[in-house]
Amino acid sequence: MDIVTAPEPAATSLRDAVYTRLRAEILNGRVDPRERLTEPKLSRRFEVSRTPVREALSRLLSDGLIQRTDFGYAVVVPSLAELRDLYELRVTLELRGVERIIENTELHYDTDALRDELGRWVELRAAPPEPDPSFVLFDERFHTVLSRAAGNERLTEALVEVNEKVRAVRMYDFVESERIRITIDEHIEILELALADRLPEARTALHLHVGESLAVVMERAARALSRMALAG
């Protein structure tokens, strides 16, 4: 009779550690889309053998975050057609959170979560950060908190997944001070309307915030993809 043994804890830990760190680097935009991810290079970076690196790459491939190339792996960057679909899905998920509360009077926002988030954005308005692609993470946090406060965790999980897929492109939205200022002001407006229970107005403000003309969104996405291609 064959005996199935559990993997060695140390090996499992190394595999998970490499996977977690590399996944975070990819999702936070710290891996250049043109960089080739190879077992030897990653083994040296993480100071581990090739086995945990190989297993981590296999998991990232299954996640759809990387793809095979002639010389290793590379980060997957959505095409303009894929981005169009993802942006449309993002708008649908965002608006559904507030719509479900408007439609059902027994549902309510988690106002404590909204107040805490409002406090963070008021502080950011008082001292706006310098333009930086990493600002996308603050932006995503707002949308995640707003969605989760609406009470449907599955909607939030879907929104997080979409945001991760478009993050590498959206991060280039935040390289200008004016764009950051507008984002901060609009986030505060949406939160204040939701807390005041002016939900139809909150929905309208949210729709204006995330549902810009698709042509404008795609033009910005095309510029972002161009910047990514030129980055080195």
Per-residue pLDDT tens digits for 66-123: 889 888 998 887 778 888 899 899 999 999 999 999 999 999 999 999 999 999 999 9
Q: What is the pLDDT along the chain (232 residues), one digit of tens a residue?
A: 333 333 445 556 888 999 999 988 887 767 877 789 999 999 999 999 999 999 999 998 887 788 898 889 988 877 788 888 998 999 999 999 999 999 999 999 999 999 999 999 999 999 999 988 788 889 999 999 999 999 999 999 999 999 888 887 787 778 789 989 999 999 999 999 999 999 999 999 999 999 875 566 677 767 666 665 555 4
Amino acid at 137: L
pTM, full prediction: 0.73
Q: Which two tokens stand for residue 176?
A: 């200008």
Q: Are strands 72-75 and 66-69 parallel, antiparallel or unpaired?
A: antiparallel
Burial 94-119 (b: 16+ CB within 10 A, else e): bbbbbbebeeeeeeebeeeebeebbe
Predicted pLDDT of residue 84? 86
